[in-house]
């Protein structure tokens, strides 16, 4: 029997469009998250690596990681029970199979819902501002978040960015030798 264990990011929540999301690094067994070891603001992620900064433990991310893991385990277990029920030729085996099949479908729909329901995955505007401040974004970044969340329109964003540009002293041109 092969045992797959290690660590990885799970529980993706608080997505700020075009900027970041929050995820928790878990110790996993067969890719099912078990032990949370720290939450991160993730700026980019590819393959097994990511770029970001550690933050305090995110309760929302931990719960989401465990919930998704439990739904996967439930879906697999219910599928196995359904298969066992279908292989049983007695009347109660058919009922067992139908119940297992329904449970597997419900787990699959629940898992799909944790990824697709915006309210579960997207950061609220105040949370997005909090994450941006933790990342050290300047006023321009905060304006772009306000624009992404519909707090200001494009013309107001352009006006605010223009005002910032006017207030920022321009750097002298480099005169090399």
Q: Is the pTM of this model over 0.85?
A: no
Domain contains 148: no
Residue-number span of the structural domain to which 9 is assigned: 5-125
Confidence band (pLDDT; 50, 70, 90) for 176?
A: low
Domain contains 172: no
Amino acid 97: pLDDT: 87
Query: Residues near 65 by Cβ (< 8 Å), separated by ≥ 6?
Result: 10, 11, 23, 24, 26, 33, 36
Q: What is the percent of the chain where pLDDT is above 70? A: 92
Confidence band (pLDDT; 50, 70, 90) for 91?
A: low
Domain contains 142: no
Closest of 102, 33, 40, 105 to residue 64, by C-alpha: 33
Query: What average pLDDT score do residues 62-76 get?
Result: 96
Taking the C-alpha atoms of residue 41 and residue 60, their distance in angstroms, rounded to an integer, is 13
Domain contains 160: no
pLDDT at 169 over 70: no
Amino acid 37: pLDDT: 95
The 10 Å Cβ neighbour count of residue 72 is 17
Domain contains 116: yes
Domain contains 131: no
């Amino acid at each position: 029997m092969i045992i797959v264990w290690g660590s990885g990011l799970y529980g993706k929540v608080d997505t700020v469009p075009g900027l970041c999301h929050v995820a928790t690094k878990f110790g996993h067994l067969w890719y099912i998250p078990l032990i949370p070891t720290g939450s991160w603001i993730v700026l980019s992620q590819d393959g097994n690596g990511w770029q970001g900064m550690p933050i305090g433990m995110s309760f929302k991310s931990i719960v989401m990681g465990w919930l998704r893991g439990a739904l996967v385990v439930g879906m697999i277990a219910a599928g196995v029970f359904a298969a066992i029920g279908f292989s049983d030729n007695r009347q109660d085996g058919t009922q067992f199979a139908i119940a297992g099949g329904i449970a597997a479908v419900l787990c699959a729909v629940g898992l799909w819902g944790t990824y697709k329901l915006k309210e579960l995955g997207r950061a609220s505007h105040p949370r997005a501002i909090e994450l941006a401040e933790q990342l050290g974004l300047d006023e321009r970044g905060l304006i772009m978040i306000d624009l992404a969340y519909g707090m200001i329109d494009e013309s107001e964003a352009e006006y605010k960015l223009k005002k910032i540009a006017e207030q920022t002293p321009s750097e002298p041109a480099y005169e090399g030798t």
